[in-house]
Amino acid sequence: MSVNEVRKYVVRLSAEERQTLEAVIHKGSHPASLTLKARILLKADISEAGEGWSDSRIVKALDTSVTTVHRTRQRLVEEGFDAVLRRKPRERPSIPRIFDGEKEARLIALACSTPPEGHAKWSLRLLEEMVVQLEIVERASDNTIGRTLKKTFSNRI
């Protein structure tokens, strides 16, 4: 580690944490991002069993960015070991759901009902028109209706 490189987030792993990270790297199949984080933490660990590498050395060895190394260290120190191993949950969905529980139930009931006269069965487009007409929702695409019904395993359509 160079004199100019000061570590704000120091990684000091227990034997159990090191064992967990080694298992992530060597056993089973894990997402590449998780494997990379495990490798970063093992290289950055300054405990007796660790290698205590500098960020620049980790970046070169693992072909990653300084930001990734810094954020991995930071997340370990600020949020704990378990937080590094799981994906950060979204604070809120980017697009609000059109069908909440009640509206979803009404859509399913509609899809399971007898189709209108002149139709042998419900189509997604027909359901799309009907949920707006019945004021279940203001608007919805046939794609949204299809995904909602697929999610609930409704295969009547």
Residue 93 lies in a domain: no
Mapped onto helix, strand or coil, the DSSP state of residue 101 is helix
Residue 19 lies in a domain: yes
User: Which residue did the predictor score with more confidence, 145 or 155?
Assistant: 145
Last residue of a domain, one of 85, 116, 135: 85
32-79 pLDDT tens trace:
999 999 999 999 999 888 888 999 999 999 999 999 999 999 999 999
d(CA 77, CA 23): 21
Residue 90 lies in a domain: no
d(CA 38, CA 150): 36
Average pLDDT over residues 121-141: 92
| Same-domain pairing of 31 and 64 | yes
| Same-domain pairing of 26 and 66 | yes
- The mean of the pLDDT values for the chain is 87
Domain ranges, residue 53: 15-85
Threshold 0.85, pTM exceeds = no
Q: Which token pair is 30?
A: 């894990």
Q: Which token pair is 72?
A: 């991995």
What percentage of the chain exceeds 90 in pLDDT? Answer: 62
CA separation (Å) from 56 to 25, 63, 64?
21, 10, 10
Label residue 53 left, alpha or beta by phi (over 0 means left) and psi (-120 to 50 means alpha): beta
Residues with Cβ within 8 Å of 64's Cβ and at least 6 positions away in sequence, in order, are 36, 40, 58
Residue 117 lies in a domain: yes
